[in-house]
Amino acid sequence: MSPLGSNLPLRTAVAGTGGIARASHLPALAKLAAQGEVEVVAVADIDEAAARAVAAEHGIPGAFTDLDAMLAEVRPDLVVLATPPAVHREQSVAALRAGAWVWCEKPPCPSLADFDAISAAEPGGDAEPYASIVFQHRFGSGAHHVRRLLRSQAFGRPLVAHCQTTWYRNRAYYAVPWRGRWATEGGGPAMGHGIHQMDLLLDLLGPWAEVRGMAARLVHDVETEDVSTAQVRFAGGALATVVNSVLSPDEVSRIRIDCELATIELTHLYGYRNANWRITPAPGVPEETAAAWQDFGADEPSSHLAQLRALVADIRAGRRHPTSGAGGRQTLEFITALYKSAFTDAPVLAGEIGPGDPYYTALHGGAPGWAPAAPREEEEHA
Ligand SMILES: NC(=O)c1ccc[n+]([C@@H]2O[C@H](COP(=O)([O-])OP(=O)(O)OC[C@H]3O[C@@H](n4cnc5c(N)ncnc54)[C@H](O)[C@@H]3O)[C@@H](O)[C@H]2O)c1
């Protein structure tokens, strides 16, 4: 029976029972299960012991080693993909074809071609199954509050922005074989780490128009970059700088937007609460107006739980979730453009990367010095 318009819990399955599934997805699902919103009916992991252990610990009836077998037997309404990026495309398509909605961990898939293949597997209607991405930073109360004020023009025009993901990852982190490789990690810090801040920046500022990027491999023995920077022009006229690094001992995630009437700043690391936001009024803004801006409402931290709650409500209401379709693609397109600009040393315009462009099928675009020396098997099948 369709979950649309019914009060039945959404029958949910989780693929991948590793770090993020245990730390974030399963606790969030348990909270919503206690409220009757979802029922976790199965987990799937190629590591049988891991699947069985998680199922036993959480009282989940089904434990599978094969996603297709799970989909055929359990017929879930919603499939949560907490698996590595290299399998996100095939697993998203398989779940959609089995009639399930998908909530897939970032990065959504290795290329825009993969993303479009997933979208093509959606039946198409807003009230029918679609694939959405885990972009939990759009869903804290701070982002809701600031987004509402920005969209209502309360701060005047956005003019200048900074978007910073300056994190630190040591050599042991990159000694794990799948990290630092296009085919298995999907990309460097622009794709794997900075994606959340850039997604939130785009969500707050609206469509981007042009990007000029630079990338370098300064410390780690990786195929991908370990730092990137970009200059961005937004369709609304604002200019932004973006920094994505895994080389920064003093770690911070930061967004700052200077508007005509206020500066908005978010400073955190892996997640924020209301207290991580600061709104500084420009001289001349009436005190009552500035005071009203400080009222962020009930404190909902950015989290998997906050997004999952919104996703379940959207599915039930037959609505598109904001990180599905074009709302998810915009961030992958931006990252693709950043890489293309960095590796071709030229500005890239929104919308220019399509079928036939080497960056449409691979983020490295085959660029000398950046593309893997020989095509890896995973890419040949991408
Ligand atoms: N949203 C966030 O803040 C956040 C944070 C951390 C990780 N992530 C993302 O979550 C995803 C998983 O990361 P992780 O740190 O949990 O990795 P992990 O290696 O800890 O867990 C991945 C799990 O998937 C299983 N797996 C691998 N291939 C599979 C397949 N074909 N079918 C079923 N199971 C399979 C593995 O056995 C493992 O248990 C990645 O895309 C990562 O970027 C997101």
CB 182 within 8 A of CB 225: no
Question: How much distance in Å is there from the Cα of 25 to the middle of ligand 1?
Answer: 11
Q: Regarding predicted confidence, which is higher, 165 or 377?
A: 165
| The predicted structure's pLDDT at residue 373 | 81
Confidence of residue 6 (pLDDT cuts 50, 70, 90): confident
Residue 333 tokens read as 């397109």
pTM: 0.96
CB 81 within 8 A of CB 287: no
What is the pLDDT of the chain when averaged over all its residues? Answer: 96
Q: What is the DSSP letter of 8?
A: S
Crossing angle of the two packed helices 112-120 and 326-344, in degrees rounded to 10: 160
- HEC letters along 177-237: CCCCCHHHHCCCHHHHCCHHHHHHHHHHHCCEEEEEEEEECCCCCCCCCCEEEEEEEECCC
Percent of the chain with pLDDT strictly greater than 90: 95
Nearest CA to ligand 1 atom 30: 46
Tell whether ligand 1 has an atom less than 6 A from the beta carbon of residue 87. Answer: yes
Domains by residue range for the chain, with CATH: 10-137+307-324 (3.40.50.720), 143-300+331-361 (3.30.360.10)
CB 251 within 8 A of CB 237: no
Tell whether ligand 1 has an atom less than 6 A from the beta carbon of residue 46. Answer: yes
Strands (E), 56-152: 62-64, 78-81, 101-104, 131-133
| The predicted structure's pLDDT at residue 18 | 97
Tell whether ligand 1 has an atom less than 6 A from the beta carbon of residue 67. Answer: yes
| The predicted structure's pLDDT at residue 272 | 98
How far is 233 from 205, CA to CA, in rounded Å?
Answer: 11
What's the mean pLDDT in 212-230? 98
What's the mean pLDDT in 1-30? 91
Confidence of residue 378 (pLDDT cuts 50, 70, 90): low
Confidence of residue 7 (pLDDT cuts 50, 70, 90): confident
